[in-house]
Amino acid sequence: MKSIITAFFVLFSLIAFSQNENKKPNIIFFLVDDMGWQETSVPFWTEKTELNKRYKTPAMETLAAKGMKFTQAYACPLCSPTRVSLMTGMNAARHAVTNWTLRKNVSPDNMHKILEIPEWNVNGLSPVDRVENTYVAKTLPMYLREAGYKTIHAGKAHWGAQTTPGENPLNLGFDVNIAGHCAGGPGSYWGLKNFSAEWRNGDTIWNVPGLEKYLGKDIYLTEALTIEALAEMEKAVAETKPFYLYMSHYAIHAPWEKDDRFYQKYIDIGLTEFEATYASMIEGMDKSLGDIMAKVKELGIEKTQLSFLCQTMVRHHNARKIILYVVIKSVLTKVEYATR
């Protein structure tokens, strides 16, 4: 949990550093789901690997070149534990959300003929103590909102089980919620499929909420989330409020569905359909990062900008060894000093 401790230290240092609201830095936390340490063109080893050469992530390269790159940082091997830790600053052993959450009081753990599954907070994070099997905490965005920040959530939430307060980011300190709910994966990444699992006979619990304007349209989920996040950035700047944007993409979590903006070029270099699909999802995520960085420049807020780029540590049947990495970019000399 070194990365989580670092994140909270930096964020609270920033808040404490400036008592003048106009000088408070805007904060963007960019979180990528289920991405391996080699699944980028940025090397996190002493030299580029073959996978580094396969993927195209120019925005990540730019961020890494201008910022600080951590090559030894770690997260929990599942979605919800990592996300609750990022909201509370606590290790999963303390908050006891040790697996992924979805339905109230229903654990995804499989029974074992010998081992007994330990009890855990199967309902996730909660802002109130009236829900059983939850960890109750005051969250990072709650603190930031008290400090005068506009708090924006975009993308995957996955903090609390369905029908509990923790499933809704608005209950956890966010002023704005874009498409976040109880599920950890989307029904579909395709607007033409309404971001729904129904077209493949999947459960509607996976359907992405709040993006009605894009339903039936030829748009990829990663792009839709980015468009909405950029609009909220513009609103915050117009309101002259510092903002905290928690940009949490569903990508590259299952279902693995191609992003047509980038898919064909990977087929053309000889990748399999799955490999090209996976690569297109990674590049789509990277384009989002680049779009956000461009918006920061367009809005003239570069000198009050702190960006985190991180990923959860998850395994799936086609994944390689996965770790967490964090890249921090800061162009404020005094903020950089505060984080040393």
CA distance 281 to 173: 29
User: Is residue 332 domain-resident?
Assistant: no
The pLDDT-based confidence of 142 (bands split at 50, 70, 90) is: very high
As a whole number, mean pLDDT of residues 132-141 equals: 97
Cis peptide before 252 (omega within 30 of 0): yes
The pLDDT-based confidence of 68 (bands split at 50, 70, 90) is: confident
User: Is residue 98 domain-resident?
Assistant: yes
Q: Among all chains, which residue has been given the structure tokens 């909102």?
A: 145
Assess contact for 25 and 332: CB atoms under 8 A: yes
User: Is residue 71 domain-resident?
Assistant: yes
Hey, what are 234's tokens? 């513009």
pLDDT in tens, 151-160: 999 999 999 9
3-state secondary structure of 325: strand
Assess contact for 102 and 160: CB atoms under 8 A: no
User: Is residue 209 domain-resident?
Assistant: yes
The length of the chain, given as a count of residues: 340
Torsional sign, CA 278, 260, 309, 50? positive
Position 307 scores a pLDDT of 60
Hey, what are 324's tokens? 């967490």
Threshold 0.75, pTM exceeds:
yes
pLDDT in tens, 272-308: 999 999 999 999 999 999 999 999 999 999 765 656 5
User: Is residue 339 domain-resident?
Assistant: no
**Tally of domains in the chain:** 1
Cis peptide before 169 (omega within 30 of 0): no
Hey, what are 152's tokens? 């924006």
Beta bridge partners of 243: 150
User: Is residue 333 domain-resident?
Assistant: no
Which structural domain, as residue segments, surrounds residue 177?
A: 2-15+27-106+118-322
Provide the CATH number for the domain around residue 234: 3.40.720.10
